[in-house]
Amino acid sequence: MKILCSLPVQKEQREQVRSILSEAEFLGVKDFSQVDQDVEVLVSFGQEITEESMSNYPNLRWIQVMSAGIDHLPLKAMARRGIALTNARGVHQIQMSEHILWSILTIMRQGQITIRQQVRKVWDPEVRIEELHGKTVCIVGAGSIGEAVAKKCRAFGMTVWGITHSEKKHQAYDRMGTMNDLAAFLGSSDIVVVLLPLTDETSGMFNKDLFSQMKAGSYFVNVARGAVVNEPDLLVALNTGKIRAAALDVFMQEPLPESSLFWEMDNVLLTPHIGGRTPYYMARTFEIFTKNLRLYPNFTQMHNHIDLSKGY
C-alpha cells in the first residue's frame, strides 16, 4: 500500500511508518495530482484535498488531516466513497489554551491599549483594568481545547461553564450545558470563549441576537472560525459597549483587509490566526497519525474519527 504525504517527510518518519506496517510506502509529494491505483492513505493539512484530487486515487480508504478544522473538505464526496477521515483534534490543547489565556489577560488588563501607548510614549496610569479572579467564563465548544482552557482558568480562581452538544459532565467545569442553555449562560458570563467547529448550524451563530443576550460589558474571545461570528453585528456590540473588548484570532476574510474597522479599535486585540502555532506542532500531529496507522483499517477505532454526516 502507498501513503502519500503533502508535508515534508523525514527519514525517521519513513522508518517509523515501516516499523508499524512493513509493506507500507510512505512518500512525500508536492500535491495530489498524479493518478495512482495503489494509494490507500493521504496525509495533508487539507488544502490539497478536493473531490477532484481524491478522484486520482480509486482505492483511497483513509485521509489523515494534520489540522483540526475540516469545514473546507469535501465531506459529502468522502461519505459517498466510504473514505474514512481523521483529524488532529487534541493537538492544539497546549498552545491554544495558552493563547486564549494570554488573550483574556490582555483585554482585561487593557494590554492592547498600553502597547499602543508605549509606541506613542504615552504615560497613562489611569487605564481601566480588571481581574480574572472571581470572574465567570463560558467556553462555547467544550471539547479538548476547552478542557485545557477550563483547567487554566480555574487556576486563576475563575468559575468555568461549558457549552457542548452533549450533557456529559467534566470535573474541569463548574457547570455544563447544551445549546439550549446558551442564552442563560451568556447572560451571566463575564467572558465568552468561542471554540465551535464551523458547520451549517454554527455559521453566523454569534449575531446580534446572541450578543444582545450577553452580559453588559462582558469580554468576547473567538479562536474558532471567523464565519461563526457575524462581524458587522460584533462591531455594533463593541461600539455600543455591550461587549467591552474582544480578542479575535480568526476572521471572515483572511488576511484581514486593511479596510477592516477592527484594525483601529482600542477595544480589540487582533492576532493573525496564530492561536494554534507552536514549534512542536508537527511532532504532535505525526504522533496522532502513527497511533491511527497502528489501528488501520479499524477506522471507527481511530483517534479523532470524523462522523462525516455531522462534520465533527
- How far is Cα 67 from Cα 231, in angstroms, rounded to an integer? 24
Roughly what angle, to the nearest 10 degrees, separates helices 111-120 and 93-108?
70
**Which residue out of 72, 170, 175, 273 is catalytically annotated?**
273
Closest CA to 287 of 17, 61, 83, 80: 17
What is the number of other CB atoms lying within 10 angstroms of the CB of residue 168? 9
**Which residue out of 15, 51, 52, 254 is catalytically annotated?**
254
273 is catalytic: yes
DSSP of 176-222, one letter per residue? EE-GGGHHHHHHT-SEEEE-----TTTTT-BSHHHHHHSPTTEEEEE
When computed from its CA atoms, the radius of gyration of the chain, rounded to whole angstroms, is 21
Q: Going edge to edge, which strands form the sheet with 62-65?
A: 25-28, 2-5, 39-44, 62-65, 84-86
Helix (H, G, I), strand (E, B), or coil: what is residue 59?
coil
**Which residue out of 89, 92, 99, 225 is catalytically annotated?**
225
- How far is Cα 150 from Cα 290, in angstroms, rounded to an integer? 29
- Calculate the dihedral angle through the C-alpha atoms of 259, 265, 268, 274, rounding to the nearest 10 degrees: 30
b/e 190-220 (16+ beta carbons within 10 angstroms → b): bbbbbbbbbeeebeebbeeebbeebbeebbb
- How far is Cα 147 from Cα 97, in angstroms, rounded to an integer? 9
Q: Which backbone phi and psi does 144 adopt, to 5 degrees?
A: -65, -40
Helix (H, G, I), strand (E, B), or coil: what is residue 40?
strand
Please identify every residue annotated as catalytic: 225, 254, 273
